Structure 1
Amino acid sequence: MTLMRMNRRSVLAGAAATPLAMVAAPYVARGQSGVIKLLVPFPPGGSVDPIARMAQPSLQQRLGQTVIVENKPGASGSIGAAQVAKSPPDGTTWLFVFDTHAVNPVLIPNMPFDSVRDLDPVMLIGTAPYILACHPSRPWKTFADMVAAAKAKPDTISFGSVGSGSIGHLAMTQLGKRAGAQFVHSPYRGGGPAMNDALGGHIDSICGSAAITATQLKAEKLRGILSTGAKRMAAFPDIPTAAESGFPGFEAYAWWGVFAPANTPKEITDKFVTELRGALQEERAQKQLSETLQVDMRLGGPDELRTFFAEQMRVWGDVVRENNIKTD
């Protein structure tokens, strides 16, 4: 693709622009508007979408460019990820991902991109435990109650997740396997649709990140059964951990991160990391992330995300293979 040459007039006109705008300008392809896109590969209503949208206004102000959020859901986030992988590495397209991003390479055959080769790590935003919660109309108070019900009537007790291969799905697969119980998995295209059916009682339970379950738990629209963190959550001290529920050493975490098209110049990535970190550290965003969404903020740069991502692919890729997990 032919790159835009900067003539004297465009240099002078861009002198008042922000550093990212000036850094990105040589890499913006001819005919592009320069609008910065935060691509969310899930529908609105889950946890990835609100994180991108809470960052958007501050990023727009900090970067001095129009910043938009675009939802491109499908295939556990891989459809949107593929779009970003094929985008020019010019600083105008950034991918906000969920934990499914580390599972998709093993779960989905013949993906049209390579998650490691075609996307560069940018930022590890944060992590949160998963919470298994049931509709208040269901009789279970503990995971042992759910296991007993599932053993009495195999393949009748359902749980929803954001999709096949999500950490919520894999965590319940492992817990059921260790407990000797068979649960029915109901995969959805995102946290919003899964939560809607959980609240409506259309599924028995949901294994969702604390980010999407916290509000409903506080409102007592769902009943917490167990969490997958190393210790009980301060916001929900009555919900036992998986370890306390009879599964010592068991932990599973949702996570949120940002990737860019491969070969995005380091100066562009570094600038974006600085401004995104600043946006998410603002009081309003920090409060929403930490208190409302129950996210343990990491805000780590490319190197931290690269290491974390590799470990997540290793751990959960093994679970997919061992349990012969398939896509929907």
Structure 2
Amino acid sequence: MLRLNRRAVLAGAALAPFAAKAQTGPATIRIVVPYPPGGSVDAIARLVQPGLQQRLGTTVIIENRTGASGSIGTDHVAKATPDGSTWLFSFDNLVLNPFVLGKLPFDTETDLEPVYLLGKAPYVVCTKADKPYRSLADVIAAARERPGKITYGTPGAGSLGHLAMTLLGKEAGVQIVHVPYRGAAPALNDTLAGHVELFVGSIAVATPQIDAKAVRALAQLGETRAPTLPEVPTARESGFAKIAADAWWGFFAPAGTPGAAIERFRAAVDAGLQDAALAKQITEGQGVTLVRAGPEKLRAFVQAQMALWGPVAREHDITAK
């Protein structure tokens, strides 16, 4: 007769949940990151991956499918078989692309299933430390005094920073000149060199230079103040009620993915973010404020963002080209 010792029984019991999970889902899961390695989307996906793999009991692969401001990878997921094996991890460009890229081969609202809103981080307006500006009001006053002379750099044409500053200029009744760059780093470098008056980008990119006192943060463009910049007011607090420009990160699935698969994936991601070490890596390392919201809140958020930024892009003929 085969006899099992107590240790073997306990070991088997400990592994049973993972074995059960592996049987209920695909053998391999792909998380498509539609941006190159090195950016925040890729970095966060790779931070989440080990715990997600453990909790799902399956192999989780991060796959970078880049191009067209994230729309190539997004299209791949939108057309993937909705069996729970393919997921998208994206950020704020997702809601802007339908308006700044022209006709896309997929519909953002109907071809993707919202899964999980991981977190947000405000865009910030910064200036070189030796510039005279101390607040957003100073920038607006300078733009009134010198129309068409105050410049700001962003990571690119059609970016959230571009649209937010366009809306800000409209509300303030001033012209602030946009200078697009191919990424946040060159825009910030030219701000440090004094070639542009302002840098508008995510808090994660700007924080090292803010901490080093090389640049001064004048305003946050998000809905609320970030915990890491508690002394810097928001644009709303500065009198611009329509401005709410947050970078954000979320998971999506192909439309038609079963609800049980979505819930299983969402729960696994959320459980991982309850780990203090992982949460610290994301909040402090990437400047993200965790939101941890489910499908319906992410759906409502995406719809609200498209309703806000679509008209701005159309009215001002903003494109990513």
Deviation at residue 267 of structure 1 after TM alignment: 1.9
- Output the CA distance in 2 between the equivalents of 1:205 and 1:43: 26
- Output the CA distance in 2 between the equivalents of 1:209 and 1:67: 28
Pairing 1:43–2:36 present: yes
- Output the CA distance in 2 between the equivalents of 1:37 and 1:44: 15
Q: 1:294 to 1:136 in 2, by over 3 A?
A: same
- Output the CA distance in 1 between the equivalents of 2:135 and 2:43: 30
Pairing 1:69–2:62 present: yes
Instruction: Give, as a single letter, the amino acid of the residue that structure 2 aligns with 1:298.
Output: V
Deviation at residue 150 of structure 1 after TM alignment: 3.5
Which range moves more in the overlay, 143-152 or 120-129?
143-152
- Output the CA distance in 1 between the equivalents of 2:282 and 2:292: 12
SS in structure 1 opposite 2:81?
coil
SS in structure 1 opposite 2:253?
strand
- Name the % identity: 47
Q: 1:129 to 1:88 in 2, by over 3 A?
A: same
Which range moves more in the overlay, 297-306 or 60-69?
60-69
Instruction: Give, as a single letter, the amino acid of the residue that structure 1 aligns with 2:250.
Output: G
In the TM superposition, what are the counterparts of 1:239-318 in structure 2 within 5 Å? 239-248=232-241, 250-318=243-311
Which range moves more in the overlay, 298-307 or 34-43?
34-43
In the TM superposition, what are the counterparts of 1:195-210 in structure 2 within 5 Å? 195=188, 198=191, 203-210=196-203
User: Which of 88, 91, 100 is 2:84 aligned to?
Assistant: 91
Matching residue of 1:23: 24
SS in structure 1 opposite 2:63?
strand
- Output the CA distance in 2 between the equivalents of 1:89 and 1:187: 37
1:41·1:79 contact (CA, 8 Å) conserved in 2? yes
TM-score by structure 1 length?
A: 0.82
Matching residue of 2:214: 221
SS in structure 2 opposite 1:140?
coil
- Output the CA distance in 2 between the equivalents of 1:244 and 1:282: 33
- Output the CA distance in 2 between the equivalents of 1:192 and 1:95: 25
1:41·1:74 contact (CA, 8 Å) conserved in 2? yes
SS in structure 1 opposite 2:25?
helix
- Output the CA distance in 2 between the equivalents of 1:241 and 1:317: 22
Matching residue of 1:8: none
Deviation at residue 116 of structure 1 after TM alignment: 1.7
TM-score by structure 2 length?
A: 0.83
Instruction: Give, as a single letter, the amino acid of the residue that structure 1 aligns with 2:69.
Output: S
Pairing 1:127–2:128 present: no
User: Which of 143, 154, 159 is 1:161 aligned to?
Assistant: 154
2:223·2:246 contact (CA, 8 Å) conserved in 1? no
Deviation at residue 81 of structure 1 after TM alignment: 0.9
- Output the CA distance in 2 between the equivalents of 1:273 and 1:204: 42
Deviation at residue 18 of structure 1 after TM alignment: 4.3
Instruction: Give, as a single letter, the amino acid of the residue that structure 2 aligns with 1:322.
Output: E
Instruction: Give, as a single letter, the amino acid of the residue that structure 2 aligns with 1:266.
Output: G
Q: 1:19 to 1:172 in 2, by over 3 A?
A: farther
In the TM superposition, what are the counterparts of 1:77-116 in structure 2 within 5 Å? 77-116=70-109
- Output the CA distance in 1 between the equivalents of 2:219 and 2:150: 16
User: Which protein is bigger by CA-based radius of gyration?
Assistant: 2
Please, which runs of 5 or more residues in structure 2 have no aligned partner?
1-15
Please, which runs of 5 or more residues in structure 1 have no aligned partner?
1-14, 26-33
Matching residue of 2:3: none
Q: 1:292 to 1:198 in 2, by over 3 A?
A: farther
Matching residue of 1:30: none
How large is the RMSD of aligned CA atoms in angstroms? 2.7
1:46·1:212 contact (CA, 8 Å) conserved in 2? no
Matching residue of 1:56: 49
Q: 1:259 to 1:189 in 2, by over 3 A?
A: farther
Deviation at residue 287 of structure 1 after TM alignment: 1.4
1:76·1:189 contact (CA, 8 Å) conserved in 2? no
- Output the CA distance in 1 between the equivalents of 2:176 and 2:298: 33
